[in-house]
Amino acid sequence: MVATRQDLIKIAPLPPPTTRAPAAPHVPARLSQSAIGIGGRAPEDRDSYSMTALADITDRSLHAATARFTAGISPAAVAEAYLDWATHLAYAPGKRLQLMNKGIRKASRFGNYVARCMAEGGKTDACIEPLPQDHRFVGEAWQKWPFNFVYQGFLLQQQWWHNATTGVRGVSKRHEEMVEFASRQILDMVAPSNFPLTNPEILLRTIGSGGLNLAKGWQNFLEDAERAAAGKRPIGSEEFVVGRDVAITPGKVVYRNRLIELIQYAPATETVRPEPILIVPAWIMKYYILDLSPQNSLVKYLTEQGFTVFVISWKNPGPDDRDLGMEDYRTLGVMDALDAVNAIVPGRKVHAAGYCLGGTLLSIAAAAMARDGDERLATVTLFAAQTDFTEAGEIMLLIDESQIAFLEDMMWEQGFLDSRQMAGAFQMLNSNDLIWSRLVHDYLLGERQPMTDLMAWNADTTRMPYRMHSEYLRNLFLGNDLAEGRFTANGAPVALAEIRAPIFTVATERDHIAPWRSTYKINLQAETEVTFVLTTGGHNAGIVSEPGHRGRSFRSMSRPQGNYLDAERFYAEAARKDGSWWPEWAAWLKERSGEPTSPPAMGAAQSGYPSLGDAPGAYVFGE
């Protein structure tokens, strides 16, 4: 890569001009160096402009190249954590003695289990049970010799390593969690379920099919590798074409700027509630997760409930968008969209809803509006969105100064964070389900998992602009500025406590991106009426939870202004209800809306918001 002079100026600005000082009396060399170290470098010792730029470019380019082989993980951050753990463990003979004792006890326990199995013909209780979320060894074949010995020994070893990587005095909590996480990833990689000779289900399938499953799995692997190298989506995703199979709720694009398209959906009822709904999705995802197939489209459901619905469709950023920041997303995104909605549905307040990162942005925008006396919001709804990042889950293991600097160097070279780099980090947080189970199912058993609309949407990835993502990680995740009153909008700090519109928050029980106890903190931050809903499912599947979805349930509780209930009491006291949370939200919105009236026109050409084409628009197709 060749850097122009303009690029170098951005990377390493020239040092300020210096003036020549009067000649100083001669001093010994040692004293001179000491004085320079205390008072600053002498002019002749300052790095030149070209050397500063060269050093910066060299380091950033090396980090960016390294990131391609580490899935964006900083080797320095991992090494620092392991060094902290290993050093303190080396100076902890008591802990090592305890681990030795645990190892002997586990070996004795395992030997006793083997003896009982041999004496009782394998009909004996297991000596260790998998964790509730671990489904790798639940098949009947795993309970027979010799595979019961294999998986029981593995689980005992996994438990021992957990003991070894935790509870070492002096290791920082963050480093302990990182070492435990990394060690768990390594153990998951070498689990007996991942290899044909130690997985009875694979072995039986291979014998029964004469090895055809492995041949089919190899073919699946080659197909996936070819598609990944060519930047194509997974096999089966072609069955879910945007605008044909998914994102087909009728609507019009009524506004477009360099960052968003605003879609207004056609009414599905003769009358509608006078207050429209504006949905702000995260730009880390394509908006149509909320408008998938007709049977599980939240947008379609809302229109059928008598609401006028607007949705932001974000542009997929490229290198030219590298300097777009959080403030640009607030103004060009939320505020411009709100202006358009107010022009199309004049004189009415707006029900605003934000999903994931879009919910965080909406909370910032709502706080800024409250600060400035802007009362255009009727309600605020947050889907799996965090406003306090102190307990943001295992994703925090990938966010510290070393890691962010590494990511910034990776984004600096290309101008954005690539979707595959983001996907790799999220997959590691749930590697058993997203990586190793797929390896076993697709490549060793030779079976393709049927593609669904949600899986196809998940493969339709997006990018993150350099500046915005850096600000997001540093100011929100690392600094927690929003929760602590330091985050600024339009040059002034915002506080969630200033929001007076009622808040409806939805969290999911198995969310590994926005853990529900983290999203629950809105109850502590807001000083308005808050309704909190905790639904079954994960970050995406729990939100796409249409009525009739099998196995869905939720807990819900509202608190008046000023009354706080901690997360554990909420979980214990909120009654569980069967079914989807969608009707609960629709009823909540209706209670805070006016009487039905005639639907508004599609767009408002006289106010500068003409129809620009049919939904789903153009930005959703940005690759």
Give the residue numbers marked as catalytic: 356
Tell me if residue 253 falls in helix, strand or coil: strand
For 166, 187, 407, the CA distances from 73, given in Å and listed in that order, are: 22, 18, 8
Which residue type is seen at 47?
D
Full DSSP string of 510-576 = T-SSS-HHHHTTHHHH--S-EEEEEESS-TTTTTS--TT-TT-EEEEEEE-TT----HHHHHHHSPE
CA distance 293 to 459: 16
Contact indicator for 592, 556 with CB cutoff of 8 Å: no
Do the bridges between strand 260-265 and strand 251-256 make them parallel or antiparallel, or are there none, so unpaired?
antiparallel
Which residue type is seen at 351?
H
| Residue 452, number of CB atoms within 10 A of its CB | 17
Contact indicator for 308, 340 with CB cutoff of 8 Å: no
Contact indicator for 235, 227 with CB cutoff of 8 Å: yes
**What residues contact 395, with CB distance under 8 A and at least 6 apart?**
425, 426, 429, 477, 512, 513
Beta bridge partners of 246: 242
CA distance 310 to 254: 9
The residue assigned the tokens 């997203």 is 434
Full DSSP string of 103-114 = HHHHHHHHHHHH
136 DSSP 8-state letter:
T
Contact indicator for 467, 322 with CB cutoff of 8 Å: yes
**What residues contact 564, with CB distance under 8 A and at least 6 apart?**
523, 524
3-state secondary structure 140-163: HHHHCCCHHHHHHHHHHHHHHHHH
For 302, 330, 340, 341, 600, the CA distances from 346, given in Å and listed in that order, are: 20, 21, 10, 8, 9
The residue assigned the tokens 């519109």 is 501
| Residue 552, number of CB atoms within 10 A of its CB | 20
CA distance 201 to 599: 58
Token representation of residue 81: 């954590």
Tell me if residue 198 falls in helix, strand or coil: helix
CA distance 276 to 344: 10
